[in-house]
Chains A and B, each alone.
Chain A
């Protein structure tokens, strides 16, 4: 056994306390992290595996987290890296370039096909089911979807999304822009037919 200096027990106690606090904070965020994780992957099982891998790694490397910074973003950075590592590229079959229309495409399509004036909110909610939206989102190609999920489901800023995915903020903006257009084009097909 190594010699323990008088300050060593103190140091260990402080470290244990910091670690417990980190673990508790990370667990408190797990619902929010899961909501994002669930839409980054295709199935609930994959999301659960990814969450467990993420938390195992986070608990192991908690010392590399800087207290006071955005812990949710830190956890999602681990999660998105693991997601990319775990053979996501394998699934990347020759991806078809999805159809992409303008920003107001869905609005315009709904407006054209609507006979009587109705509120905009009802127009969306009435015509699209949860399955429609979840299906359309999961069909958005990965690179665009990652950004879309972080910003639109996770409510991250462009800056946070850029750090999580380790890409420039301009790339976040352009992928988000295209991702939303792809999503809306797919939703318009669901809502009013292709």
Chain B
């Protein structure tokens, strides 16, 4: 089956599932559905790789001089 009423529910779960915020029972249900449903599995893989991509390109390293400036703010002993 390509699409059923569970897929609507799956769209609701998808983000909390990726956020690891579902409880055990919900996660088990979501995983069972993903295993059997190509429609949702494709979207799951996409959403997961989008998440990783966004995090990767939006992560900017801290300038090393800033770290020194922060360390200089420490209370002198």
Contacts and interface: CB of A to CB of B under 8 A. Distances in A.
Categorize the interface residue count of chain A: 35 or more
Interface residues of B, number: 33
A160 B64 CA distance: 28
A153 B55 contact: yes
B75 A121 contact: no
Interface in B41-64: 42-43, 45-47, 49-51, 53-55, 57-63
B49 A38 contact: no
Contacts of A52: 66, 69-70, 73
B66 A48 contact: yes
Interface in A141-163: 151-153, 155, 157-158
18 contacts: A27-B71, A27-B74, A34-B60, A34-B61, A35-B60, A38-B60, A39-B58, A48-B63, A51-B70, A52-B69, A55-B73, A133-B57, A134-B57, A151-B19, A152-B54, A153-B55, A153-B58, A183-B54
Interface of A: 16, 19-20, 23, 27, 30-31, 34-35, 38-39, 44, 48, 51-52, 55-56, 59, 102-104, 106-107, 110, 120-121, 123-125, 128, 130, 133-134, 137, 151-153, 155, 157-158, 173, 176-177, 180, 183-184
